[in-house]
A and B are shown apart, each in its own frame.
Chain A
Amino acid sequence: MNAIKSYGNIITKNLSDSKKALAYLKLGLNIAGVYLSLFPDRKVPASLQFLQKICVNSIKDYFNHPDNSMWVNIFSPTEILHAMGVNPLFIEAYSGFLAGISIEGQLIDAAEAAGISNSLCSFHKVFLGSGELNLLKKCKMSITTSMICDGNIGTFRYLSEKYQTPLYILDIPYEYNKENVNYVKNQLQEMIRNIEEIFGRKLDMDRLKEVIARENQSKELLKKYLENLALKNLSTSMTYELYMLFASHVFLGREETLSFYRMLLEDIQRAPDRRGKGIFFIHVPPLFEKNFIKYFNFSPEFSILGFDLNYDFLDEIELRDPLEGIARKLLLNSYNGSFDRKIALIDMLMEKTRPDGVIHFCHFGCKQALGGIYLLQRYFREKNIPFLTLDGDVIDKKNNQEGQTKTRLEAFLEIIRNR
């Protein structure tokens, strides 16, 4: 922990000299890559150790080969990039990484000083701030989607302009219907033409089909993993649950992601039965919040059962027409369109995981999630499942009130213990 803190301090001290700060970032990532191979985190099973390596390597690859990388957001159709051998830098995760070394404060200040709203989601503000302080390596191109989160288009547009990189925005409509599938498919085709031109290589449809076949296999394994969560107890932490977003989104369809899901299923099947209470998280678990760390990380008393974002699309993608399949996947995402879809997803997850309590950490600035809080409260009342909402910020530590969170969280856990 202290090594990470001092590492963060070194970077903070060099923020005014972006070349130096970047060099330290790159060095740190390369060291972390080696370190994790030699000394994996023994608190977690092999699958999660492997996952951590995938995540660190992805950011490392971006630093080492920015000209073969693209900035993407979590919902971008990266299957196409994998088929073309392009490395995606998942910007929300990059912000999480920078917050992990505790330099988010300076980056957020830099974004706000440039005129960016202080009520914007901090995942975006940190990325914007690292752009303002030239802590990013220029990519060849970036892609984003309009779906689910308003902050994306603005963030990508702003940074693409600053770094003079081409940007492709996929406009994903609200409703699922045939015309909209075609609209998205046409955009995917246009996007592919742009990527082909910029990277000077062709997309091989057969390779894309292979990627999608692996994605479908991964989903099958994920669903089997889900079937085990109600009874088994996997030793994990909020950080690893967030690492899973790499597997369930941006890195889905890659060979190592499929291996990860195979290992994950084996690990949970071998795991001991759950003795303590199970907590399911909605939205994003606050991985840096001290009270949450104390009560949930590697805890046998309150097991983390997962969080909904890792399950936002579980259907199979048709191999017949991969682009149409991807278009459907984007349109049918549980968070696109009406909130009923999200409630249907949560209902399914409640049935599978059977938690003793559910916590919704209301991440500051996320309107799509916070706006539906009343509908979720109603749902959980009807289902008679204890439900706690807490306000705070996953990334920006100064937006959290530790004392307030402590009282509320402990009271909630007392309720669950006594049920």
Chain B
Amino acid sequence: MIGYVCKYTPVELLEAFGEETVKIEPQVKPHESAHDFTHVNMCSYMKGALEQILEQNLKEIVLVNCCDSIRRLNDILKNKVDFLHIIDLPRKINNETDRLFYRQIELFAKAYGEYKGTRLKTGRLKEIIQSRRKEQIPVEKSLVIMGARFEKNIIKRLEETYGIKTINLTCSGNNRLSDTITENNVLFSYAVALLRSFPCMRMVSDRRAFLQSLPVKGIIYNTIKFCDFYSFEYANLKKTVNTPILKVETDYTDSESGQLMNRIDAFMEMLETKSVSRKTRGKRFFAGIDSGSTSTNAVIIDAEGQIMGYSNVPTGAKAHDSAQKAYNLALKNAGLTKEDISFTVATGYGRISLPFANKITTEISCHGKGAYFLDRKVRTIIDIGGQDSKVIRLDEKGNVLDFAMNDKCSAGTGRFLDFMAKAMEISLEEMSQVILNYHKDIVITSMCTVFAESEVISLIAHNTEVKDIIRGLNRSVATRAVSLLNRIKHTEKYMMTGGVAKNKGVVYEIEQKIGAKLLIPSDPQITGALGAAIFAMESSD
């Protein structure tokens, strides 16, 4: 069994040797052994591949000179496996590189043959290649997956949930060559066909022309942390292509996590590819529940959209219990019972685990809905909650046009401010001041909550005024929010929602930075639940 990483690997050639090939696709796990042999800040695919090779004790490995990380993987694997070969793949495609790549394939066949004590049978190779069928490109509008390799399971789930076809243009795509043998020299035409397959981002060629020939409904663009190739193409596509595009960043350790699915679901909602929902009819009240990371909110509205009652409870260890509690409390406040509710929509992180919901929707759509309901002039929403911060752009009808969310860590979210208030031993109210007469312009530089905490502690140790630190912290949250805003085309009017909207200091600093006022709803935390309730009302129509 021989392991490989790259689509330019001559897999058919290995099969012609009668060898079983295994594409290394690291699964969810920590990279314990890999960290013994390389640095943590390496691309997570490389670390995952190293982990898998060591763990499964793969003894034969063929790599391609793909990138800095894979080149180092080759260096690290020396003397750790029985057979190791790196194929030098040119970046340019022309007659000269055809010959260079052919020479590389020939050298590899020779090296592997010597290792196995056998020779390549080109007749067998020809048969194998001819048996391959080219993948059909769908005719209907499809979802294009681009960028770095993407988990098969997610693609499958997407196709099933939304009944949409996908075109996989990542480097783990299935598009292999087929009727490519045109010359007598089988190996040469094989090498040429391999080199001239749809170029990956590492190659020196423009891929946009090819994209234009496809029936694209939307693009999911996957980038990996510490991979240098993809974000450039994403940045370019975002500027030049009119198709809706979603950027997701994965690191191969949590590819099915809530955060990733959340973004994808919201994107699919944006594309109006609605999933199937259960419907009930007859009664006149509607509920929305937003099960967030720190608080759970419930809102009950009537058929006119009047808020009948709402609640706000902290999310405990079990999202389900808190949701039930919030729901019951909102019902009580509204003077209703659950029999009065004709439709319930759940949103937020815990939305999947709420059995009494008729439908689930992501908080991105719900915040958009709720904010638009509160003020039809809202075009941009900044929502900063406990562990997420997001910005959403709406069109004049209140539909979500674009959104961006923070990356994994809690920097710039409500929890960040909670931690800092604790570190400084002050209340959240004190944290929420607008500070105009400061002494020193403190800049909190650390991106990480833990490090920012030690930065704050050392500021206190240096007798920096608490007021100045508070201003510095609120400004750092504002900076993060504005940099998120800059990822979408934002216009007035702005509304801020989520728990952090109660922090006047943050609101003030954001307003200063964008030069516009932020509308703040009377209870900013319930905007998501309100949007969910409105969805419930609409779903029931």
A binding-site residues for B, Cβ under 8 Å: 109-110, 112-121, 146, 148-151, 153-155, 157-158, 161, 169, 171, 173-175, 179-180, 183, 186, 338-340, 362, 364-368, 370-375, 391, 397-401, 403
When distances are taken between beta carbons in the complex, the residues of chain A under 8 Å from B204 are: 146, 153, 169, 171
Of B4-12, B95-103, B320-328, B352-360, the one contacting chain A is: B95-103
A370 near B230 (CB under 8 angstroms)?
no
- Say how far B456's CB is from chain A's closest CB, in angstroms: 12
Which residue of A109, A179, A372, A374 contacts B483 across the interface (Cβ within 8 Å)?
A109
B65 near A371 (CB under 8 angstroms)?
no
A150 near B68 (CB under 8 angstroms)?
yes
10 contacts between A and B (CB under 8 A): A115-B487, A117-B231, A158-B235, A174-B86, A175-B88, A362-B39, A367-B43, A371-B69, A372-B72, A374-B37
A364 to B226, alpha carbons, bound, how many Å? Answer: 9
When distances are taken between beta carbons in the complex, the residues of chain A under 8 Å from B230 are: 117
CB-CB contacts below 8 Å: B196-233 with A: 202, 204, 223, 225-232
Say whether, besides A174-B88, A374-B37, A401-B446, A367 and B232 are in contact (CB < 8 Å): no
B37 near A173 (CB under 8 angstroms)?
no
A355 to B10, alpha carbons, bound, how many Å? Answer: 46
When distances are taken between beta carbons in the complex, the residues of chain A under 8 Å from B243 are: none
A114 near B226 (CB under 8 angstroms)?
no
A161 near B236 (CB under 8 angstroms)?
yes
When distances are taken between beta carbons in the complex, the residues of chain B under 8 Å from A112 are: 483
A169 near B41 (CB under 8 angstroms)?
no
Say whether, besides A117-B231, A339-B75, A169 and B487 are in contact (CB < 8 Å): no
When distances are taken between beta carbons in the complex, the residues of chain B under 8 Å from A149 are: 68
Indicate the member of B97, B223, B226 with the most A CB atoms within 10 Å: B226
- Say how far B341's CB is from chain A's closest CB, in angstroms: 42
B227 near A375 (CB under 8 angstroms)?
no
B115 at the interface (CB under 8 A from A): no
A115 near B454 (CB under 8 angstroms)?
no
CB-CB contacts below 8 Å: B87-110 with A: 88, 90-92, 96-97, 99-100, 103
A115 near B100 (CB under 8 angstroms)?
no
A365 to B68, alpha carbons, bound, how many Å? Answer: 11
B189 at the interface (CB under 8 A from A): no
Closest 10 CB pairs of A and B: A371-B72, A115-B235, A113-B486, A117-B231, A339-B75, A367-B68, A370-B39, A154-B232, A150-B228, A368-B68
B236 near A116 (CB under 8 angstroms)?
no
Report B26-45 CB contacts with A as 1/0, cut-off 8 Å.
00000000001111011100
B74 near A338 (CB under 8 angstroms)?
yes
Say whether, besides A179-B100, A371-B71, A115 and B228 are in contact (CB < 8 Å): no
B223 near A117 (CB under 8 angstroms)?
yes
A399 to B92, alpha carbons, bound, how many Å? Answer: 35
A397 to B455, alpha carbons, bound, how many Å? Answer: 14
A388 to B483, alpha carbons, bound, how many Å? Answer: 35
B72 near A367 (CB under 8 angstroms)?
yes
CB-CB contacts below 8 Å: B335-389 with A: none
Which residue of B41, B74, B231, B235 contacts A370 across the interface (Cβ within 8 Å)?
B41
When distances are taken between beta carbons in the complex, the residues of chain A under 8 Å from B92 are: 169, 171
A119 to B229, alpha carbons, bound, how many Å? Answer: 11
Which residue of A110, A338, A370 contacts B42 across the interface (Cβ within 8 Å)?
A370
When distances are taken between beta carbons in the complex, the residues of chain A under 8 Å from B71 are: 174, 338-339, 368, 371
Which residue of B100, B228, B229, B249 contacts A180 across the interface (Cβ within 8 Å)?
B100
Report B50-87 CB contacts with A as 1/0, cut-off 8 Å.
00000000000000010111011111100000000010
B binding-site residues for A, Cβ under 8 Å: 36-39, 41-43, 46, 65, 67-69, 71-76, 86, 88, 90-92, 96-97, 99-100, 103, 202, 204, 223, 225-232, 234-236, 238-239, 247, 249, 407, 445-447, 451, 454, 458, 479, 483, 486-487
- Say how far B251's CB is from chain A's closest CB, in angstroms: 10
Which residue of B39, B202, B231, B479 contacts A371 across the interface (Cβ within 8 Å)?
B39
B67 near A367 (CB under 8 angstroms)?
yes
Which residue of B41, B103, B445 contacts A362 across the interface (Cβ within 8 Å)?
B41
A367 near B42 (CB under 8 angstroms)?
yes
A373 near B445 (CB under 8 angstroms)?
no
B225 near A119 (CB under 8 angstroms)?
yes
- Say how far B52's CB is from chain A's closest CB, in angstroms: 17
When distances are taken between beta carbons in the complex, the residues of chain B under 8 Å from A117 are: 223, 225, 227-228, 230-231, 249
- Say how far A142's CB is from chain B's closest CB, in angstroms: 14
B231 near A115 (CB under 8 angstroms)?
yes
A121 to B249, alpha carbons, bound, how many Å? Answer: 17
A367 to B41, alpha carbons, bound, how many Å? Answer: 8
Beyond the given A365-B226, A400-B445, could you list 17 further A-B residue pairs with CB under 8 A, ordered by the A residue number?
A109-B479, A110-B486, A114-B238, A116-B231, A148-B68, A153-B204, A161-B236, A169-B91, A169-B204, A183-B96, A364-B41, A366-B68, A367-B68, A371-B39, A371-B75, A372-B76, A403-B458
B407 near A118 (CB under 8 angstroms)?
yes
A401 near B72 (CB under 8 angstroms)?
no
- Say how far B534's CB is from chain A's closest CB, in angstroms: 31
A374 near B445 (CB under 8 angstroms)?
no
A113 to B486, alpha carbons, bound, how many Å? Answer: 5
A186 to B42, alpha carbons, bound, how many Å? Answer: 34
When distances are taken between beta carbons in the complex, the residues of chain A under 8 Å from B68 are: 148-150, 366-368, 371
A291 to B229, alpha carbons, bound, how many Å? Answer: 33
When distances are taken between beta carbons in the complex, the residues of chain A under 8 Å from B451 are: 401
When distances are taken between beta carbons in the complex, the residues of chain A under 8 Å from B445 are: 397-398, 400
A115 near B76 (CB under 8 angstroms)?
no
When distances are taken between beta carbons in the complex, the residues of chain A under 8 Å from B72 are: 339, 367-368, 371-372
Say whether, besides A112-B483, A115-B247, A373-B38, A403 and B454 are in contact (CB < 8 Å): yes
Which residue of B39, B73, B88, B228 contacts A373 across the interface (Cβ within 8 Å)?
B39
A118 to B3, alpha carbons, bound, how many Å? Answer: 31
